[in-house]
Amino acid sequence: MPREALHLDNDAVAHVLDEIADLLELKGENVFRAVTYRAAARSIRDLREPLAELIEQKRLKEIPKVGPSVGEAIEQLVATGRSIRHEELQAAVPTGLLTLLGVPGVGPATARAIYDHLRITTIDELEQAAKDGRLRQLPKIQTKTEENILKSIAALRQRTGRALLNEARAAANTMLAWLRQETGLELLAIAGSLRRFRETIGDVDIVAGSDDAPPIMAAFVRAPTVERILANGDTKSSVLVARGMQIDLRVVPPRSWGAALLYFTGSKEHNVRLRGIALKRKLLLNEYGLYRVGAEARGQELACASEEEIYAALEMDWIPPELREDRGEVDAASRHALPALVAVGDIRGDLHTHTNWTDGRDPLETMALRAKAKGYGYLAVTDHSPGLGMTNGLSLERVQARLAEAAALNAKLAPFRILVGTEVDIRANGKLDYPDDVLARFDIVTASVHSSFSQPRDQMTARIVGAIRHPLVTALSHPTGRLLERREPYDVDLAAVIAAAAETGTRIEINGGPERLDLPDTWIPRAIANGATLVASSDAHAIEELEWMELAVATARRGWATPGAIANTRDLDAMLASRKKA
């Protein structure tokens, strides 16, 4: 069934508002107008209610940065799929300019100049003009700029999108190890979206604290993984490593370490809030420290050595990086009302893992020994059901053998406990992939969708809610089915899924697989508020992937989850007893 074209959903509206912002910049209007449209787009992406609902209840003005003009555009977009302001701008600005804006290094002014002089509107034309040496005939463009534009286009074509968390972490850790080896530096840390555990990573940010920056910069740009140097300054450099991933390094004096870490961790929106608060107190906050306005030139900082010191000087509690998204954490920290977030150390066991009996790589005993070594009290092994042909799902005979294998290992490893579970497929027709008498033999049953992803919303929702209501199902795995940077989520009414989970006591998984991170962090507060219980799982297919639990916990933290919201922070008996189902 084709999507109803007339009713733009929140993401689609946000997309148009972003485009309006781009067009305003290209048109050369007051930049703050563009800033406002972008800020409004972001607020809308953070909303957990449909815009149509807010319009109906006349609550649009409650959205930050939405006033009369933006509100009118939103109403038009939701009602008709179009906005007069947007269409006027499209008529006034050649649409090709938006394409040029997508090339890194080309901003509104350059895009405008290129179009005005050469009438270029596509990347291909831009590339050809650069190769022909026509760009350098424009004012303020010489060969260097031309070369950079060509390099940017090449990188753009090579680039596959944002990096997954584990890929970005690997690239960052390799660079950190290199810098430590070459410089012996102690003050060295990952900042940016990677430190905040955002689900995908654009650039990797690294901060170093030292009074002697040049040797550090030199080591950075000659690192073996570097493929291209984008910028190489006294205190700031940028490089590209494999697959077009960018790494930025900033060196600050050690006394500014805390201010720099805070600044480069972001998010940008969080920083803007902090600076606004600082300004109201006649203070200036930058990457070097917190100063009384006017005193920064004299180097008389109030605070800057640690993040804690800076937050304290602004009369706030220290805010965990995962919360720094300007989603209420600044106010909560000012009221000293931040939640005590769940931490990796709170996790007592993993409830979703696979072995080499289906699509995993390691045997059960190896997985169990690693889980035990990690300090867990229990490990649920949840190999697939047979319906998923490609994963060699367990037949009834093999389920029997698995139970025997686990019993023998449990005798050996006690008090550590292996729970024999299954990741049972929810078939296209909503039926589970094992009969009830087989499901009843498992300690844990987690249900998931692995096929027929394109079912209509109503059908998909009924299919999943049906599984949640099944009395033998203890959890729902990766509720949206998305694969980051690879596959969109299936169309499902998550609010209905959460409501059914809360009602029945079936748990909702936060899957730590770096491609999934599903339930997404933005839905976690809603699940908690509605009384659903969550579990954090690694979905490990090998022993080293048990470490993906950290990503599941980070996602939970980004969703403001406390230990109480996560079932597997409890020891085995309490975890099993907290299940509402028999």
Least distance CB 276 / DNA (angstroms): 5
Helix (H) or strand (E) holding 422: strand 417-425
Q: Which stretch binds DNA (CB under 7 A): 133-141, 385-393, 499-507, 514-522?
A: 133-141
* Nearest to DNA of 220, 442 (CB atom): 220
Tell me which of 145, 356, 504, 562 binds DNA, using CB under 7 A.
Answer: 145
**Smaller CB distance to DNA: residue 110 or 555?**
110
Contact between 228 and DNA per CB under 7 A: no
Closest contact distance (angstroms) between CB of 155 and DNA is 11
Whichever of 216 and 508 has its CB closer to DNA, that residue is 216
Who's near 468: CB < 8 A, 6+ residues apart?
447, 476, 497, 500, 501, 504, 506
Paired sense of beta strands 203-209 and 245-252, if any: parallel
Task: Find residue 353's DSSP bridge partners.
Answer: 540
46, 125, 167, 287: which one binds DNA (CB under 7 A): 287
- Regarding 15 and contact with DNA (CB under 7 A), the answer is no
Residue 508 contacts residue 501 (beta carbons within 8 Å):
yes
Minimum Å gap between C-beta 268 and DNA is: 6
Output the smallest distance, CB 200 to DNA, in A: 14
Closest contact distance (angstroms) between CB of 231 and DNA is 4
Q: Is 231 a binder of DNA (CB under 7 A)?
A: yes
Residue 65 within binding range of DNA, rule CB under 7 A: yes
Tokens 């919360």: give the residue.
Answer: 323
Tokens standing for residue 10: 């929140």
CB 317 to DNA: min, Å: 19
- Answer yes or no whether residue 67 interacts with DNA by CB under 7 A: yes
Half-sphere exposure of 103 (CA within 13 A, CB side): 29
Tell me the two tokens of residue 215. 């040797």
Question: Is 561 within 8 Å of 342 (Cβ atoms)?
Answer: yes
Question: What 3-state class would DSSP assign to 334?
Answer: helix
Span of 99-107, 157-165, 409-417, 567-575 interacting with DNA by CB under 7 A: 99-107
Stretch that binds DNA, among 274-282, 385-393, 404-412, 514-522 (CB under 7 A): 274-282
- Residue appearing with tokens 């004299």: 298
Residue 240 pairs in a beta bridge with 228, 246
CB 451 within 8 A of CB 427: yes
Omega within 30 of 0 (cis) for the link into 240? no
Q: Among 282, 335, 580, 581, indicate the residue that binds DNA (CB under 7 A).
A: 282
- Torsion angle of the four alpha carbons 334, 340, 341, 346, in this order, in degrees rounded to the nearest 10: 160
Distance CA 333, CA 143 (A): 50
With tokens 């290992």, the residue in question is 409
Q: Which of 41, 247, 284, 381 binds DNA (CB under 7 A)?
A: 284
Residue 203 binding DNA, by CB under 7 A: yes
Among residues 90, 148, 183, 334, which is the contact residue for DNA, using CB under 7 A?
148
Long-range pairs, 50-58, Cβ under 8 A, ≥24: 50/9, 50/10, 51/9, 51/10, 51/13, 51/78, 52/7, 52/78
Strands 349-350, 301-303: pairing kind: unpaired
Q: What is the nearest approach in angstroms of DNA to the Cβ of residue 132?
A: 16
Please choose, out of 30-38, 182-190, 357-365, 379-387, the segment that lies near DNA by the rule CB under 7 A. 30-38
Please report whether residue 82 would count as binding DNA according to CB under 7 A: no
The whole-angstrom separation of Cα 368 and Cα 380 is: 9
Question: How many residues sit in the footprint of DNA (CB under 7 A)?
Answer: 61
Contacting positions for DNA (CB under 7 A): 30, 32-33, 35-37, 40, 64-71, 85, 104-111, 136, 139-146, 148, 192, 202-203, 205, 231-237, 246, 248, 268, 271-272, 275-276, 278-280, 282, 284-287, 296
